[in-house]
């Protein structure tokens, strides 16, 4: 048995540990069944079968066909492929506009920025104070030039869930392709690409207790799409290169386990999340970022006035608590998180953000420790601040 | 973002925290919009920095830089304190990550502005002690470039 960790992990949105059964499902494809899936002999056929079963398992979890799943090396790769692929294919029909939102992950935003340099026009939709895209505003932004709409399923900083089904319906009605970056959502929220009218969807295994280094892109059948990597016939020739068989198996088993336990995990995490949120909001001059109701089950994002996020993270780390922040100082730039700024949070407050994303086995006593520690540390940092007394007086 | 042991020491046990009131010189650098703000207060007797306190809103490097900078000038003549550089602060901390070098510059600026304030209060020309050595704020936001 591994040793019990002596720290509290509250950064599940960054990454998750591999589950033991997932590791066990993967291991045979490293040594015993190491064959190349393209080979004709038995070891190759075994690997090929494992790969195709992984594809089927993954497809079942989001309600698509196995041949609509393409394994990639990451969620970022899937986002890049989806957006650049559609953009380049649609440009041939004269459609050169992309609609996305201001709160997307950099995997989407920087991809869009790269396309702008190529001459595409990109509309970045505002989100409102609650961090959600308004479907009517999206509909109003559509033109006959629109090649693609890309709106994330759930935001990585605030945990806010976007109205994906409504957006899907609008896009389908107008015949515009809809991509969603579901990296934070897959395995944590129900996904049905058919019912939700999703044309392309990105996901990443390590966000749902699968291995790092493997993601997937769902591309609805019939969409004309350029290849990502030319070479052999792997991934139906669209993403060549010998497949990460163990990774694909790990992704699919982790996703299947996550989907099977979703209802139970959600029911357990939401009360814990809400109790911890309420406790944190009792701290003077604190605020919740994003929508309170439409939020990932274990996700809390708050801002504390009068502190800077990185100091808080360092102090939490010294107390054995792993968390995250949207502060500038954690990213190496001077600007605070683009997501928090898009929510209309002033920069001086956005610098004091804290993100807690709870793992499935998070306990009530861990929640109490986190609350007590954060409360003490925020007070300590405020006592160091030259502004706090003034802020407090208003 | 890996910090040196010295940075972590000054971050977890910051020296000279607080505010001298009354103070003989007050210096503020940075602003909260950019994530870092420092306030330095000095007590000066016979040209010697008898006491110095800091208050800092900012990241680990900003707090450690303030703490180290105050240690480096405490008990020193103002002529020596006026020669403090961001580089010396960063070196004394065992180095800072490149993205954090502006924090040591902010500490230098706050201390030099406090020394300038002291001079002005005494009817002296700050340039006589500080010359042209007060660095600009490292950020480029509107407030700081005013």
Q: Do residue A311 and residue B39 have CB atoms under 8 angstroms apart?
A: no
Known catalytic residues of B?
34, 103
Q: Report the residue of chain B nearest A335, measured CA to CA.
A: B34
Supply the DSSP string of A117-149, one letter for each residue. HHT-EEEEE---TTS---HHHHHHH--TTEEEE
Give the contacts of A185 (CB within 8 A, at least 6 positions apart).
A153, A154, A161, A191, A203, A296
Q: Report the residue of chain A nearest B40, measured CA to CA.
A: A386
Cβ–Cβ < 8 Å for B123, B116 = no
Mutate to test the interface with B, among A325, A326, A333, A334 (most CBs of B within 10 A): A334
- Exposure on the CB side of residue A98, measured as CA atoms within 13 A: 31
Q: How far is CA A4 from CA A15, A68, A317, in A?
A: 19, 41, 17
Q: Does B88 touch chain A (CB under 8 A)?
A: no
d(CA A72, CA A251): 11
> Which residues of chain A lie closer than 8 angstroms to B14, CB-CB?
384
- How large is the ipTM? 0.92
Q: Does A314 touch chain B (CB under 8 A)?
A: yes
Mutate to test the interface with A, among B33, B113, B114 (most CBs of A within 10 A): B33
pLDDT given at position A1: 43
Q: Do residue B63 and residue A384 have CB atoms under 8 angstroms apart?
A: yes
Confidence of residue B142 (pLDDT cuts 50, 70, 90): low
Q: Do residue B35 and residue A306 have CB atoms under 8 angstroms apart?
A: no
pLDDT given at position A224: 86
> Which residues of chain A lie closer than 8 angstroms to B102, CB-CB?
334
pLDDT given at position A12: 96
pLDDT given at position B136: 80
Q: Does B144 touch chain A (CB under 8 A)?
A: no
Cβ–Cβ < 8 Å for A122, A97 = yes
Q: Do residue A332 and residue B1 have CB atoms under 8 angstroms apart?
A: yes
pLDDT given at position B130: 82
Mean pLDDT, chain B, whole residue set: 91
pLDDT given at position A155: 97
Indicate if A20-260 has the same CATH topology as A8-15+262-393: no
C-beta atoms surrounding A126 within 10 Å: 13
Closest CA of chain A from B70, distance in Å = 14
d(CA B40, CA B17): 10
What pLDDT, in 10s, does the model give residues B50-80? 999 999 999 999 999 999 999 999 999 999 9
Q: Do residue B56 and residue A330 have CB atoms under 8 angstroms apart?
A: no
pLDDT given at position A234: 95
Per DSSP, the three-state class of B118 is helix
pLDDT given at position A2: 47
Cβ–Cβ < 8 Å for A203, A182 = yes
Q: What is the DSSP letter of B99?
A: G
What pLDDT, in 10s, does the model give residues A120-158? 999 999 999 899 999 999 999 999 999 999 999 999 999
Interface of B with A in 106-135 (CB under 8 A): none
d(CA A23, CA A14): 20
Q: Do residue A384 and residue B14 have CB atoms under 8 angstroms apart?
A: yes
Structure tokens at A199: 């044309």
Strand pairing class (A286-288; B36-45): unpaired
Closest CA of chain A from B8, distance in Å = 9
Q: Report the residue of chain B nearest A391, measured CA to CA.
A: B32
Report pTM: 0.93
Cβ–Cβ < 8 Å for B111, B16 = no
Q: Is the pLDDT of residue B117 over 80?
A: yes
Q: Do residue A311 and residue B11 have CB atoms under 8 angstroms apart?
A: yes
Q: Which residues of chain A have pLDDT under 70?
A: 1-5, 327-334
pLDDT given at position A328: 62
Range A20-260 has CATH code 3.40.640.10: yes
Give the contacts of B125 (CB within 8 A, at least 6 positions apart).
B119
> Which residues of chain A lie closer than 8 angstroms to B58, CB-CB?
308, 311, 329
Kindly list the domain boundaries of chain A, sorted by start residue: 8-15+262-393, 20-260
Q: Is the pLDDT of residue B146 over 60?
A: no
Q: Compare B93 and B143 and report the one with higher pLDDT.
A: B93
What would the 3-class secondary structure string for A257-286 be?
A: HHHHCHHHHHHHHHHHHHHHHHHHHCCCCE
Closest CA of chain B from A276, distance in Å = 25
d(CA B55, CA A391): 14
Q: How far is CA A333 from CA A114, A157, A329, A336, in A?
A: 20, 17, 7, 8
**From the candidates A61, A112, A303, A329, which is the catalytic residue?**
A329
pLDDT given at position A101: 98
Of A182, A129, A55, nearest to A289 by C-alpha is A129
**Fold that domain A8-15+262-393 belongs to in CATH:** 3.90.1150
Cβ–Cβ < 8 Å for A338, A109 = yes
Q: Structural domains in chain B?
A: 5-122 (3.90.1010.10)
């Amino acid at each position: 048995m591994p040793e019990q960790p002596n720290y509290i992990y509250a950064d599940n949105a960054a990454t998750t540990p591999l589950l033991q059964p997932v590791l066990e499902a993967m291991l045979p494809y490293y040594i015993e069944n190491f064959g190349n899936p393209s080979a004709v002999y038995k070891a190759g056929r075994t690997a090929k079968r494992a790969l195709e079963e992984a594809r089927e398992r993954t497809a079942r979890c989001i309600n698509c066909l196995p041949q609509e799943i393409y394994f990639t090396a990451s969620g970022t790769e899937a986002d890049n492929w989806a957006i650049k692929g559609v953009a380049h294919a649609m440009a041939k029909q004269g459609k050169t506009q992309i609609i996305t939102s201001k709160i997307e992950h950099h995997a989407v935003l920087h991809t869009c920025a790269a396309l702008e340099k190529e001459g595409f026009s990109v509309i970045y939709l505002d989100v409102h104070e609650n961090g959600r895209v308004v479907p009517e505003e999206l509909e109003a932004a559509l033109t006959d030039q629109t090649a693609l709409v890309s709106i994330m399923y759930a935001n990585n900083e605030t945990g806010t869930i976007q109205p994906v089904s409504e957006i899907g319906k609008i896009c389908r009605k107008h015949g515009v392709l809809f991509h969603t970056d579901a990296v934070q959502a897959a395995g944590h929220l129900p996904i049905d690409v058919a019912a939700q009218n999703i044309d392309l969807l990105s996901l990443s295994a390590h966000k749902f207790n699968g291995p790092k280094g493997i993601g997937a892109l769902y591309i609805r059948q019939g969409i004309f799409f350029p290849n990502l990597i030319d070479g052999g016939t792997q991934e139906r020739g669209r993403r060549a290169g010998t497949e990460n068989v163990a990774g694909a198996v790990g992704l699919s088993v982790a996703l299947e386990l996550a989907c099977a336990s979703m209802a139970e995990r959600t029911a357990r995490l939401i009360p814990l999340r809400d109790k911890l949120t309420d406790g944190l909001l009792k701290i003077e001059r604190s605020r919740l970022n994003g929508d309170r109701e439409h939020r990932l089950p274990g996700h809390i994002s708050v801002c504390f006035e009068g502190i800077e996020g990185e100091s808080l993270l360092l102090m939490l780390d010294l107390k054995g608590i792993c968390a995250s922040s949207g502060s500038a100082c954690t990213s190496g730039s001077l600007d605070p998180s683009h997501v928090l700024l898009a929510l209309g949070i002033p920069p001086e407050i956005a610098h004091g953000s804290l993100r807690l994303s709870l793992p499935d086995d998070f306990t009530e006593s861990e929640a109490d420790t986190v609350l007590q520690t954060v409360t003490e540390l925020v007070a300590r940092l405020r006592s160091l601040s030259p502004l706090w007394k003034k802020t407090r007086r208003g | 973002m890996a910090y040196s042991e010295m940075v972590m020491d000054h971050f977890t046990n910051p020296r000279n925290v607080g505010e001298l009131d009354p103070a003989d010189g007050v210096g503020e650098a940075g602003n909260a919009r950019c994530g870092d703000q420092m306030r330095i207060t000095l007590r000066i007797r016979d040209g010697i920095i008898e006491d110095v306190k800091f208050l800092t809103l900012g990241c680990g490097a900003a707090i450690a830089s303030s703490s180290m900078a105050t240690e480096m000038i405490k008990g020193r003549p103002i002529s020596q304190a006026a020669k403090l550089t961001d580089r010396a602060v960063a070196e004394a901390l065992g180095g800072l990550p490149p993205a954090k070098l502006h924090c040591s510059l902010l500490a230098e600026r706050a201390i030099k502005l406090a020394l300038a304030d002291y001079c002005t209060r005494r009817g002296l020309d700050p340039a006589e002690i500080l010359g042209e050595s007060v660095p600009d704020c490292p950020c480029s936001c509107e407030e700081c470039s005013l």
